[in-house]
Amino acid sequence: MDVGSINDSRDQSRQGKVRGAGRSWGTIRVDAVNRFVEMALVCDANTSVTHPPSRIVQSRGFQAFSAELGSRLQAGSHLILYGPRGGGKSTLLAILRDQNRSMGAPCGLAPVTSGLSDIVAALAQAYPGTDVEGLGRRAARARLRMAADRVSGVLLLDHATGITTAMLGYLRRLRGGIAGALLAVDVDTPHERERMRAWHAGALSIQMPPASDRQMHQLLMEAIQSSDLPQVESKLAQQIAHGARGRIGWLNECIRRLGMQEYWRDGRLHLAALCTDTEIVIRESRCGPRMSWRSGGA
């Protein structure tokens, strides 16, 4: 598992990089991250053929990881969670949202983050009692920020594709314990990671840890055995698990497609077509980080 940090010089000098199991990244331990991967495998799969979410919430791995990451957000930290498309980032954000709301903590989730309006919408979601009716955009942003200043909250900003100067400015005004923020970014290539670095968002960045082939294979077999999906030969199942490359969302999409007749001929699975179509769906579903220094974006 690779949990690295970039951009935030204050946290870099204090924390450094994690290189071995059991060593700390900030207050989040790698062994907790490993246990979280086991939990996320179940959570990101099709819930109709896997374990109920209650088992995940009650698992020690989830509790350890979410409590430590959640404490950073609740303390006002701004973080970036990056990793490949289909890697389970959206699942993690949804779990953190539900966790915060169950505690009565203000929390808003933006499904896509490409402009300042998406951040403001998430903030309005976190503070639904704030009256912004009839206000202009600037006045509404100020009133929502004041609401967060009175009771600190958490913003979960999924599928961030760019950071404008207006977004950076507004996020900076939410620092200092006003609102924690976690941006999830799809990064599949070194070029996309360099683009993300160029945002200069001033946030500690965390790489989403991939699952192992063994974990992928286990989830695939459990999904097949607990549903009416066609049986898959052991060798083909291992190839599917390897093709997932640790991406929980990819395997979820592949499992969904396993029940489609178009991938079966005379009782045999057309593996190449299945994996190719799954990859296309995952890669075309979201856009990666882009260079964007335009002002505005409200």
DSSP for 27-82?
TEEHHHHHHHHHHHHHHHS-TTSS--HHHHHHSHHHHHHHHHHHHHHHTT-EEEEE
Q: How far is CA 126 from CA 130, 149, 153, 215, 240, in A?
A: 9, 12, 7, 35, 39
Count Cα neighbours of 102 within 13 Å in the Cβ-side half-sphere: 8
- Confidence check: pLDDT of 44 > 80: no
pLDDT at 185: 93
- Confidence check: pLDDT of 31 > 70: no
- Print burial letters for 97-136: b (CB count within 10 Å at least 16), e (below 16): bebbeeeebbbbbbeebbbbbbbbbbbbbbbeebebeeee
> Whole-angstrom Cα distance, residue 127 to residue 124?
5
| Average pLDDT for 264-271 | 91
pLDDT at 1: 37
Average pLDDT of every residue of the chain: 77
Among 75-89, 101-115, 225-239, top mean pLDDT goes to: 101-115
- Confidence check: pLDDT of 48 > 60: no
- Confidence check: pLDDT of 196 > 70: yes
**Tokens, residue 276:** 């190719």
> Whole-angstrom Cα distance, residue 291 to residue 194?
10
pLDDT at 236: 94
Q: Between 183 and 40, whose confidence is greater? A: 183
Size of the chain in residues: 298
Q: At what angle do helices 116-126 and 137-150 cross, to 10 degrees?
A: 40
For residue 159, the 8-state DSSP code is S
pLDDT tens across 205-233, in order? 888 777 788 888 888 888 888 888 888 99
- Confidence check: pLDDT of 199 > 60: yes
245: left (phi over 0), alpha (psi -120 to 50) or beta: left
Q: What is the phi/psi pair of residue 205, to 5°? A: -105, 140
Question: Where do the structural domains in the chain lie, given as residue ranges?
Answer: 213-285
pLDDT at 120: 96
| Average pLDDT for 117-142 | 94
| Average pLDDT for 98-107 | 92
Is residue 289 very low, low, confident or very high in pLDDT (cuts 50, 70, 90)? Answer: low
Is residue 40 very low, low, confident or very high in pLDDT (cuts 50, 70, 90)? Answer: very low
Look at strands 153-157 and 179-186 and give their pairing: parallel
Is residue 130 very low, low, confident or very high in pLDDT (cuts 50, 70, 90)? Answer: very high
- Confidence check: pLDDT of 153 > 70: yes
Look at strands 28-29 and 24-25 and give their pairing: antiparallel
pLDDT at 160: 92
pLDDT tens across 110-127, in order? 999 999 999 999 999 999
